[in-house]
Structure 1
Amino acid sequence: MSSSASQTELKRVEDLWFPDATLILRAENSLFRVHSGILAARSSVFQDMIAFPQPTPPAESDGNEMVDGHVVVRLHDLAGEVEVFLRAIFDSSFFMPPRSPVKFQVVIGVMRLAHKYDVQFLFRRALSHLDSIFPVQFTDSLDRYSVYGDADHVQFDGGDLTVDFIAFRAALEVGASWILPTAYYNIARESDFMLKLGANCHLSPQEEKLFLAAQTKFLRAFGSTYRFMKLLPSPECDSSQCEDTISEGHDVLKRWNDDCTDMDPLGPWVFDYVDGSLCDGCEDLARVQHRAAQEVFWDTLPTLFGLPGWDELKELRRRVIEETA
């Protein structure tokens, strides 16, 4: 290793250091030695980069960084993202299609760099992984926001708004606008979103204004989703228990409203939080009305944030993920 890249400063990533390879990449203080032909076959950007004649030794005197007699190619990307991106290329088992378990940060890192370096199959795969977190279909959103929803295969700290912040920033960067409505929703529904995001997730004044304005709309929409409570009990109800259950449901809703913390029109069913149960007639009436009101809200969700409607966003997603497949 040359004096310009001393061993104390730089770290070789062992699993991505192939002794017979000739391309050495550096990201921050991490070094990767990989096969240029494989990388060029996957990435049109690297293909073009490698096509340019490389300096030949002794090149260090020309100001080039050298390692083991090879010129180092400097990448201005985060080392962690370069590592997962290269692993996805050189290890076919590392980044499998959905629903294989994968860490959220891996998905974001692969998505960003696959977009930047034009590795389309990895870009599409990363976006497909995010579908389960940021759905575009109303029925999928019910599973996502249900208290009984299955654990997601994309692993992250549940309830951590940092996930949504990172996702919407990355979505804006790569043009995946269909991710934005649910990412924005997850942030805006939290009354103290600025506190929960913390200092490491800086929102612009325009974004803060956008989320605060959405909260008022969420509160109104939440009230709309429970207007059916006025219809209960159903005309066919013959259960004495329903009156007590409905009364308890009203108490729960009042506590939610008094706390002013619930701005979650797509959130769970209020009767999941009471001890009693409704008769079939009351249950059917309530669920049909509640779901219909939630669907109305879902249909308007993108426009609440000044985004195109779902039809346009779904078409964009289809073009990116399906047409280029």
Structure 2
Amino acid sequence: MSSSASQPELKRVEDLWFPDASLILRAENSLFRVHSSILAARSSVFRDMITFPQPRQPEGGEADMVDGCIVVRLHDSATEVEVFFKAIFDSSFFERAPVPVDFSALIGVLRLSHKYDVQYLFRRALSHLDSMYPTSLQTLQDILTGETYPHVYSSCQWEITEHMGALRAASEVGASWLLPAVYYRITSTFSMELADGRLSIADVQRCLTAQTAFVRATTESHAFLRLLPAPTCRTPMRCRTAVSAAYGMLDEWSSDQEDCNPLSSWVFYCTGLPCDTCTEMAKSSFSAVQERFWARLPSIFGLAEWEELKKMETAIMESAA
């Protein structure tokens, strides 16, 4: 390859360097030698890129060459290009849900499959994200309580950094139906990390504003404690003791982030109510508050209603089929 003293050292990505291939692509300082016919079959964007002749270099200039092949530059991160190409050229690298995938690889495949129009990978990536950020209240609550876990993503620690990455990626590719659950996870685990530049100013403001609604809904969800014991309770003394213990835990956890998590069920389950009548009354009141909150969750963040978001999901997933 033509070089100069100021040129960075280029690295061949061994797992994606096929000696019999004729197409060499560069992302940052990484080189990928891959089969153009396979890329063209998977991606309309690469098909057009390969079909069009490469532009000539200015007179007197030299084209970037490796092993007699012109090097085509991609304006993407080398890390994302690597996982994207692995998903294309290694069928076992990025499989359908529920097979586990690496979270950072998931985001890279999502972004580049959308950019380069690789529909089957785009749909596959969205399906993985659907399991993490559902449009169903029950599904999200099962995740929050640990009753179900969306595939063991090897690098996902369910921290705010992952949620912020999912927010950026989902917004970029137009997967708006994922956003209510993503915003919920960020807002309910708020920290000053929101202000460190990893979210836009608009998103920071959106999450900060939403916290008021979150606190109100959380407080309202605890209102079932005031209804107890039920008029027909058979063990009023024991139920009063359980309620008193629950209030004690609320005071103890007053500064904890759970206090801004209206869909959490920890208060309800920690009461340990001994009476079936009180349990059913509490559950009915508790669930009603959470269902009302879930119904208006998209509007809290300035998004379309759930019905519209679900229609959008259907349209995009069907168009990617």
Give the TM-score taking structure 1 as reference length. Answer: 0.90
Quote the residue 2:160 is aligned against: 161
User: Which one of 238, 241, 244 corresponds to residue 241 of structure 1?
Assistant: 238
Cα distance per residue 1:124-177 (max 9 Å; x no partner) = 100000012111111111112215443643344434111111111111111111
Tell me the distance in 1 between the aligned counterparts of 2:117 and 2:258. Answer: 43
Residue 177 of structure 2 corresponds to residue 178 of structure 1: yes
Please tell me whether the aligned partners of residues 4 and 66 of structure 1 are also in contact (alpha carbons under 8 angstroms).
no
Please tell me whether the aligned partners of residues 4 and 65 of structure 1 are also in contact (alpha carbons under 8 angstroms).
no
Q: CA deviation at 1:278?
A: 2.8
- Of 212-221 and 238-247, deviating more is 238-247
Q: CA deviation at 1:216?
A: 0.7
One-letter amino acid of the counterpart of residue 129, structure 2: L
Q: Specify whether residues 269 and 278 from structure 1 end up closer, same or farther in structure 2 by C-alpha distance, changes over 3 A only.
A: farther
SS at match of 2:13: strand
Quote the residue 2:18 is aligned against: 18
SS at match of 1:154: coil
Q: CA deviation at 1:307?
A: 0.6
Q: CA deviation at 1:7?
A: 10
Please tell me whether the aligned partners of residues 102 and 156 of structure 2 are also in contact (alpha carbons under 8 angstroms).
no
Quote the residue 1:324 is aligned against: 320
- Of 139-148 and 68-77, deviating more is 139-148
Quote the residue 1:280 is aligned against: 276
Give the TM-score taking structure 2 as reference length. Answer: 0.91
| Uncovered stretches (5+) of structure 1, i.e. residues with no partner | none
Please tell me whether the aligned partners of residues 132 and 144 of structure 1 are also in contact (alpha carbons under 8 angstroms).
no
Q: CA deviation at 1:277?
A: 4.0
Tell me the distance in 1 between the aligned counterparts of 2:31 and 2:50. Answer: 17
Q: Specify whether residues 209 and 258 from structure 1 end up closer, same or farther in structure 2 by C-alpha distance, changes over 3 A only.
A: same
Residue 216 of structure 2 corresponds to residue 220 of structure 1: yes
Q: Specify whether residues 91 and 60 from structure 1 end up closer, same or farther in structure 2 by C-alpha distance, changes over 3 A only.
A: farther
User: Which one of 207, 227, 231 corresponds to residue 227 of structure 2?
Assistant: 231
Q: Specify whether residues 323 and 279 from structure 1 end up closer, same or farther in structure 2 by C-alpha distance, changes over 3 A only.
A: farther
SS at match of 1:102: coil
| Uncovered stretches (5+) of structure 2, i.e. residues with no partner | none
Residue 45 of structure 2 corresponds to residue 49 of structure 1: no
Residue 181 of structure 2 corresponds to residue 188 of structure 1: no
Aligned length: 320
User: Which one of 232, 248, 253 corresponds to residue 251 of structure 1?
Assistant: 248
One-letter amino acid of the counterpart of residue 80, structure 1: T
Tell me the distance in 2 between the aligned counterparts of 1:139 and 1:261. Answer: 18
Q: Specify whether residues 107 and 241 from structure 1 end up closer, same or farther in structure 2 by C-alpha distance, changes over 3 A only.
A: same
Tell me the distance in 2 between the aligned counterparts of 1:278 and 1:4. Answer: 78
Tell me the distance in 1 between the aligned counterparts of 2:301 and 2:231. Answer: 39
One-letter amino acid of the counterpart of residue 296, structure 1: R
Residue 111 of structure 2 corresponds to residue 97 of structure 1: no
Q: Specify whether residues 121 and 269 from structure 1 end up closer, same or farther in structure 2 by C-alpha distance, changes over 3 A only.
A: same
Cα-Cα RMSD: 2.5
- Of 118-127 and 171-180, deviating more is 171-180
Please tell me whether the aligned partners of residues 19 and 33 of structure 1 are also in contact (alpha carbons under 8 angstroms).
yes
Residue 200 of structure 2 corresponds to residue 199 of structure 1: no
SS at match of 1:238: coil
Q: Specify whether residues 89 and 61 from structure 1 end up closer, same or farther in structure 2 by C-alpha distance, changes over 3 A only.
A: farther
